[in-house]
Amino acid sequence: MSLLAEMNQKALDLGLPISVHLDITYRCNERCVHCYLDHDDHGEMTTAEIVDVLEQLADAGVFFLALSGGEVLMRRDFFEILERARQLLFNVKVKTNGVMIRQKEAARLRQLGVEQIQISVYSHRPEVHDAITKLPGSLKRTIRAIQFLKSQGLKVTLANVLMAGNFSDQSGVMTLARELGVSYTVDPTITPKMDGDRSILALRIPGSELKQVLHNQELVGNVEQFCAPPLAPDEDALDGFPCSAGHTACYISPYGDVFPCVQFPLPSGNVRRQKFLDIWRHSTQLKEVRSIRARDLPTCSTCAHVGTCTRCPGLAYMEGNMRGPSTADCEKSFQRTGIPSANMLARARASSAGPLIQIRTLADPLQNPPLAVEETLLSA
Amino acid sequence: MMAEKYIARSKAIAARLVGSEMMVMSAVDSTFFTLNEVASAIWQAADGRTPLSEIVAGKVCKQFDVDPEQAQRGADRFVDELSQHGILLVSDQPLTGTDSSLERR
């Protein structure tokens, strides 16, 4: 176990929130087609409120702090917030589109000791990237920002969200990252909007392309190992929990709402009305999330993939049940190994069984051939 | 007689107490350390103004009931290692302006 994993385990044992993702604004200068946020300002926390939250987080034991948005630099007090965060000795990762970063901003980020900057790039071709961000010239400005940040010696990660519209440019973006001397990470996950609107899921890459991603050695390393059929789950896997959401990590919105994760919009409290530690320790919602073990999941506990699946409880929650399957992760497990998940098999059985309740008219076959009336009241 | 050592925490770090251990990560090279209770006590006392020998006598020997010579040797090794990663700043003169804006939590 690595030292970092050991500390994560220790934080888990002690019930400490070692990692917090804080969105300081939902406002943004881009309008990405796949974005799950509402960019209007509905009453963001003030500078003083955010500073107070940061102090509470430090007291609660938070070490890793991701500052994100929206676009963080849309807040004029961003550097004031960042400076306070660093005074409080957080390990800070900043997520940005880079459009507003010039030499001066890059130098300030360096001076403040930011650990890592993550920047979204969707394509190496301006016409594709800018069509996704809906901001003309955005790729050029983002690349320039990466160069400024690199010139300051900062660690930059280029994050490449894959959609049907930019899938074919994935290797081009990876090459761009290599040329710029930055890390590269790819994510094929498109999540529903925070208000529950699922229309943007149509942007997800289809299964055949997802399979290509999951079998790409440059992205996953040892393909044979990564795509191997799952072993039978042991007791540890069944007693395990799916991810750090609510256990050692949580998310705070610009309005002070606390959720288990940015991808898990289960309202668990608000730091404008309660102390962060009270929410962390006593929220019934967080307690419920923490209580769930793999063996408690009605469908997933019977699945061959239960020990290796990346099942996201937040995506499951957005599908209607935090104990249910996350179909996007079922698809990943299937495309990775070729073995359908228990959820996929159940759905296939249900759809092949025909309608659950049927009413047929009793007609004289000689008078009314062939049977023409079949009314389905309830389909499985 | 050996010159006195003064130690101060670098600003280019992230740190947090987890239970009785201190997690420290360098923002320069991402080196990650965990400090046990004794090392954490030295770390927290590293204000740039208090000589290391005084920290060892006042924080280590008293709090942890350790032999002074053994404690000083351990502290010297600890300071050498962290200073190599720029996590602790070391000088034979008091260090000013290195620690004032940092908060220990």
- DSSP 8-state assignment for residue A114: -
Range A220-224 average pLDDT: 93
pLDDT tens for A28-70 read 999 999 999 999 999 999 999 999 999 999 999 999 999 999 9
Quote the tokens at residue B90: 């070391």
Does residue A349 register a pLDDT over 90? no
Residue A2 neighbours by CB under 8 Å, 6+ apart: none
Rounded Cα distance, A197 and A259, in Å: 18
Please give the ipTM for the structure prediction: 0.85
Residue B79, in any domain of the structure = yes
- Residues of A in CB contact (< 8 Å) with B are 3-4, 6-7, 10-11, 14, 16, 18, 58-59, 61-63, 86-92, 113-115, 155
In total, chain B counts a number of residues equal to 105
pLDDT tens for B5-61 read 999 999 889 999 998 889 999 887 888 999 999 999 999 999 999 999 999 998 889
Residue B38, in any domain of the structure = yes
pLDDT tens for B73-94 read 999 999 999 998 889 999 999 9
Nearest CA-CA distance, residue A110 and chain B, Å? 9
Alpha-helical regions (H) of B1-105: 37-45, 52-55, 62-64, 68-84
Rounded Cα distance, B61 and A277, in Å: 34
Range A189-208 average pLDDT: 90
> Distance between the two ends of chain B, CA-based, in angstroms?
36
By C-alpha distance, the chain A residue nearest B26 is A115
Does residue A241 register a pLDDT over 90? no
Q: Tell me the β-bridge partners of A263.
A: none
Rounded Cα distance, A147 and A227, in Å: 36
Residue B100, in any domain of the structure = no
Q: How confident is the model at residue A155 (pLDDT cuts 50, 70, 90)?
A: very high
Q: What percent of chain A has pLDDT over 70?
A: 93
Residue B3 · residue B53 · CB < 8 Å: no
Report which residue type is found at B86: G
Residue A207 neighbours by CB under 8 Å, 6+ apart: A331, A334, A335
**Domain of B84?**
6-91
Residue B52, in any domain of the structure = yes
By C-alpha distance, the chain A residue nearest B15 is A89
CATH number at residue B73: 3.90.930.60
Residue B97, in any domain of the structure = no
Peptide bond into A370 cis (omega under 30): yes
Residue B72, in any domain of the structure = yes
Provide the domain count of chain B.
Answer: 1
Tell if the CB–CB gap between A92 and B25 is shorter than 8 Å.
Answer: no
Compute how many other C-beta atoms are within 10 angstroms of the C-beta atom of residue B97.
9
Residue B101, in any domain of the structure = no
The structure's pTM equals 0.88
Residue B49, in any domain of the structure = yes
Residue A299 neighbours by CB under 8 Å, 6+ apart: A324, A325, A342, A343, A346
Residue A72 · residue A38 · CB < 8 Å: no
- B93: contact with A, CB 8 A cutoff: no
Looking at residue A353, its pLDDT comes to 65
Mutation for testing the B interface, residue in A89, A149, A155 having most B CBs under 10 Å: A89
